[in-house]
Amino acid sequence: MLVGFAIVLVNQQGSDRRDIQNSFRDRATVSAALTQSLFEASSTSSQAQNARTFGAATVSPQTMAHAAARGRSPYVVLLGPGGALIASSPGTPAAVVKRIQGKPADVSAVIDGRPYGLSNLIRFPGLQTFELASPVETKYGKRVLVTGVSPELLAVFLSGYLRKVPNVGGGAAYLLDSTGAAIAATNAAAAPGSPPHDAALVTALHNKGDQGSFGGGQYFVSAPVQGSPWRVVSTAPESKLFASVTGAHKWLPWLIFAFFAIASALAVVLLSRVLRNADQLATANDQLEDANLALEQRAEELGRSNAELEQFASIASHDLKEPLRKVQTLSELVARKEADNLSDEGRDYLERTGAAGQRMQELIDDLLKFSRVATQGRPFEEVDLATVAEQAASDLEAVIDSLGGSVEVGDLPTVPADPLQMRQLMQNLISNALKFHRDGVPPKVTVTGRADGAIAEIEVSDNGIGFEPRFNTRIFKVFERLHGRGAYPGTGIGLALCRKIVDRHGGSITAESTPGEGSTFKVTLPIKQRAQELPGGGVNGNGDRAESGAIHV
């Protein structure tokens, strides 16, 4: 089963990385398609004008010179249907005319029926240019208009289109010809007509094809501009591009997997020892008690580091829930589909795995509630604590009926508070009183209160099992339990959550108890709250700023 989990996890992480690579390649593909459509639209829109300008039987040098000046082109050359020279702008180098008459790829593309043709960077003495070939439909047959375009002019024109597709932070996008010369770029350091400034990228483009790593921590993808020798190249730092599948995001699922593997191995070892020798089982129990003592010490350390606990709970809720859900789902699938193929021991191990996953789920949920007391509280409003206590008792009606118990709510004051957190406080205290009832004695819970000046006092009393007075502060610590997990359910966070809610409201909570007779939890809350600014701008939940005397936190 663990091997199956590992295979699924490896495949999932590999799939996530491939999805990121495909998404990044799509950026370059969109930019390439945008460039292609730009030239196609330009060629289509200019066909009628070109037919009027260059459709006569003869075209004068003045017409060609005017066309070159209008497009700020170093030269314009017009060829006949067979490739013969019809006219060229004055000053066009003879080498240029000779090259065009030789029907290079950009000219041949238009002759073959394509809407346009583009060339690589062309270098002549004193001249550096790209060529754009366009068809000219005339009554004398299809002609080809070849226009020289300066790299600087083309870079200004196309760089804006490259920026329309956002890059990953720290990355860049380039439009290159097949020789690697830059046509346009979002990186100002890449000069038009020159290779990208990063030599490692040039090498990677030559050796790795359309995507890969380069330059110690960079990644690139390449997409061709259809109908031309050009291509769009996008780069990004691998640390940002693959951030969601590296670091903690990559290793946390494996950490959870390792925990389950260790737990499974320990279960096998403990079971074999039980079957071999009862004395060995006693030794294992002693070791387990030592481990529990170490865990209790660790819990005290966690209690002294409340800020770190809040951060951990937030991480657990977002980063651990999904892999845990996958582990639970896979366990359920194995139990449902392979139950008949498992031995009794296998089914026992699988049930233990499911139970461990459920306990971890409960722990994550409780940690999330604990962390959100301070980070996601609502603005204070006037709260009738009697109504809140009755609602909490109503929510626990099924538990009360099953135990044959009762909950009595007396007159309680009204205080400024977060209504949801007050309901959580009351429900936790009443639920705690019901849970720790004495065997054979129906639980009786009484909720009373009064207002004493600027302070509201609330007491929740029960007739349960009680606890030793020396534990009256320890029970409010995170993960603290006075009983084993098998005796009473829970995660050890409920009373710590109550304390945190009361602390947020500027109050206090204490406990008094006599073993075998019951417990009383006393909560004090201020009846007036000072106006405070809300995190993130000092406004209340309705979007208004907190004013003097208003009740907001």
Range of the domain at 83: 38-150
Q: Cα(379)–Cα(547) distance, rounded to whole angstroms?
A: 13
Task: Let me know whether 437 and 413 are in one domain.
Answer: yes
Does position 543 have pLDDT exceeding 60, yes or no? Answer: no
Average pLDDT, integer, range 315-328: 65
Q: Which stretches within 304-381 are classed as H helix? A: 306-315, 321-337, 344-375
Q: Are 191 and 182 in contact (CB under 8 A)?
A: yes
58-86: pLDDT as tens digits: 999 999 899 889 888 999 999 988 788 99
Predicted confidence at residue 241, as pLDDT, reads 81
Task: Let me know whether 455 and 355 are in one domain.
Answer: no
Predicted confidence at residue 266, as pLDDT, reads 77
Q: Name the domain boundary from 99, 122, 150.
A: 150
Residue 9 lies in a domain: no
Task: Let me know whether 319 and 398 are in one domain.
Answer: no
In the chain, the N- to C-terminal Cα span, in Å, equals 50
Residue 161 lies in a domain: no
240-286: pLDDT as tens digits: 887 777 655 555 566 676 777 787 777 777 767 767 766 666 777 77
Provide the angle, in degrees to the nearest 10, between the axes of the packed helices 2-54 and 321-337: 120
Distances (CA, A) of 412 to 390, 409, 484: 11, 8, 35
Task: Let me know whether 517 and 423 are in one domain.
Answer: yes
Predicted confidence at residue 533, as pLDDT, reads 37
Quick one: pLDDT band at residue 306, thresholds 50, 70, 90? low
Does position 206 have pLDDT exceeding 70, yes or no? Answer: yes
Predicted confidence at residue 90, as pLDDT, reads 93
Predicted confidence at residue 352, as pLDDT, reads 72
Predicted confidence at residue 524, as pLDDT, reads 92
Residue position matching structure tokens 């589909």: 337
CATH of the domain at 419: 3.30.565.10
Does position 472 have pLDDT exceeding 80, yes or no? Answer: no
Highest-scoring range by mean pLDDT, 115-124, 299-308, 311-320: 115-124
Task: Let me know whether 519 and 386 are in one domain.
Answer: yes
The total number of structural domains that make up the chain? 3
Higher pLDDT, 301 or 236: 236
Residue 25 lies in a domain: no
Predicted confidence at residue 88, as pLDDT, reads 92
Distances (CA, A) of 342 to 238, 334, 339, 348, 386: 44, 9, 5, 9, 54
Residue 175 lies in a domain: no
Task: Let me know whether 387 and 314 are in one domain.
Answer: no
Task: Let me know whether 308 and 258 are in one domain.
Answer: yes
Highest-scoring range by mean pLDDT, 307-321, 437-451, 467-481: 437-451
Task: Let me know whether 306 and 348 are in one domain.
Answer: yes
CATH of the domain at 139: 3.30.450.20
Predicted confidence at residue 316, as pLDDT, reads 57
Average pLDDT, integer, range 162-166: 72
* 524 CB burial (10 A radius; 0-12, 13-18, 19+): middle
Residue 155 lies in a domain: no
Residue 183 lies in a domain: no
Predicted confidence at residue 544, as pLDDT, reads 37
Higher pLDDT, 216 or 232: 232
Task: Let me know whether 360 and 404 are in one domain.
Answer: no
* 148 CB burial (10 A radius; 0-12, 13-18, 19+): buried
Higher pLDDT, 283 or 230: 230
Task: Let me know whether 387 and 522 are in one domain.
Answer: yes
* 205 CB burial (10 A radius; 0-12, 13-18, 19+): buried
Residue 231 lies in a domain: no
4-40: pLDDT as tens digits: 766 776 666 677 778 888 888 888 888 888 888 888 8
495-530: pLDDT as tens digits: 887 888 888 888 988 888 888 888 899 999 998 765
Flag the least confident range among 117-131, 417-431, 533-547: 533-547
Task: Let me know whether 312 and 439 are in one domain.
Answer: no
Q: Cα(110)–Cα(118) distance, rounded to whole angstroms?
A: 10
Does position 157 have pLDDT exceeding 60, yes or no? Answer: yes
Q: Name the domain boundary from 341, 375, 409.
A: 375
Highest-scoring range by mean pLDDT, 266-270, 337-341, 454-458: 454-458
Which among 396, 459, 392 is positioned nearest to 426, based on CA atoms?
392
Task: Let me know whether 514 and 398 are in one domain.
Answer: yes
Does position 120 have pLDDT exceeding 50, yes or no? Answer: yes
Higher pLDDT, 193 or 189: 193
Q: What is the pTM of this model?
A: 0.43
Average pLDDT, integer, range 133-144: 90
Q: Name the domain boundary from 105, 124, 150.
A: 150
The mean predicted confidence, pLDDT, of the chain is 77
Residue 355 lies in a domain: yes
Flag the least confident range among 129-138, 172-181, 237-246: 237-246
